Amino acid sequence: MKKTIRDLNNLKGKRVLLRCDFNVPLDNYGDILDDTRIAAEIPTIKYLVGQGAKVILCSHLGRPKSSYDKYLSLFPVAVYLMKVFPNKVKFSRTPAGKEAENEVAKMKEGEILLLENVRFLEGEERNNPKVVQELCRLADIFVNDAFGVCHRQHASTYGVAIKLPNAIGFLVEKELSVFENAFKTPKHPFVAIFGGAKVDDKINLINNVMDKADTIIIGGGMAYTFLQAQGKKVGRSIVSLDKVDDAQRILQTAKEKGIKILLPVDHVALLGTKVVKTKSLDGNMIGFDIGNASIKLFTKEILNARQVMWNGPVGKYEDSRFKKGTMKIAKAVAKADAYSIVGGGDSVSAIKVSGFADRIGHLSTGGGASLKLMEGKSLPAVDIIDNK
């Protein structure tokens, strides 16, 4: 078991560098479009503030290509936090260096300082020792609560943890617990739903779930590789030719183990510029969503589940012509008398668009990190945290 912030003693007056994941979508005016990741961090911040710590928040935002990009500044997040913690929050215009050190030196117990985008530091993503040293100078203790980047060995997630006394926050603790319980003691029937455009990212995931799930539902662009593996017509739909053999092996293994794999039985496709509904993807048809028969087939299975895990939309849901399948699956997952886990950025976005987010057991805040856990892999930035 990893140390959590509950295991840290005598935090009063201590400088705590809290790595958060405030990588939130902003519009062109700097307004936050989705505050989920910020809201999820509030309990950890409140705890540290309540312990009298000097709380130094560190996060990335986007992928800046220079040492400063006004469109990727964390200042809008500072404004958000100022409303949650009146008169306690300040903003450092730099993520490290003399200016940030001066701001930290002025902090009082229970105050919060949000550092500017840590990816403005050259070498942050390469775990540069100079960046690690600069960040370490700001703090006495490091807490990682940025689940979304726990699969990254960056200076602010990994390098600092090596140098400072450390722990994980409430958010990372919850995420780890949810995925551990889902795989070690799953509730049956366990239905796993996989979608998204590329099958390449999901092969390991499906293999890991194989011994745990009762039913695996495959939709989205990745389904066409499996349909081709079955010898079905896929038209000009996206197919990963180098993964067809893997798909055939998965289908065969599932058959031998008595695991049900459900693939689309009809489609919403494009033929030129015309949207067509079809059971067979002939000629130049390109599949972009599951059809009504597939929705009915998948929904029936989901509603009988006691545990559901969903990663990846089952169609190109961001296009209104092809969103029905994903929205119907979201509704089924929400309605099921089951513990539901939704992981992956697109899946979480889809469930929010559907309006059923409040009926999901756990919405994961980490795309790549949740994918790694679903694959049965460990997270480097968690591994490096001290054990209790």
The pTM of this model reads 0.91
Distance of alpha carbon 213 from alpha carbon 307, whole angstroms = 9
DSSP string of 85-141? STTTEEEESSSSSHHHHHHHHT--TT-EEEEP-GGGSTTGGGT-HHHHHHHHTT-SE
Is residue 198 part of the annotated active site? The answer reads yes
Residue-wise pLDDT tens digits, 41-69 = 999 999 999 999 999 999 999 999 989 99
Residue with tokens 């215009």: 93
Instruction: Give the chain's domains with CATH numbers.
Output: 5-173 (3.40.50.1260), 186-374 (3.40.50.1260)
Q: Which of 14, 15, 19, 37 is catalytic?
A: 37
Q: How many CB atoms lie within 10 A of CB 106?
A: 10
Minimum mean pLDDT range among 248-252, 267-271, 344-348: 344-348
Q: Which of 195, 345, 366, 367 is catalytic?
A: 345
Q: Which of 198, 335, 359, 377 is catalytic?
A: 198
Q: Which of 52, 361, 368, 376 is catalytic?
A: 368
Residue-wise pLDDT tens digits, 159-196 = 999 999 999 999 999 999 999 999 999 999 999 999 99
Is residue 54 part of the annotated active site? The answer reads no
Is residue 90 part of the annotated active site? The answer reads no
Element holding 34 (H helix, E strand): none
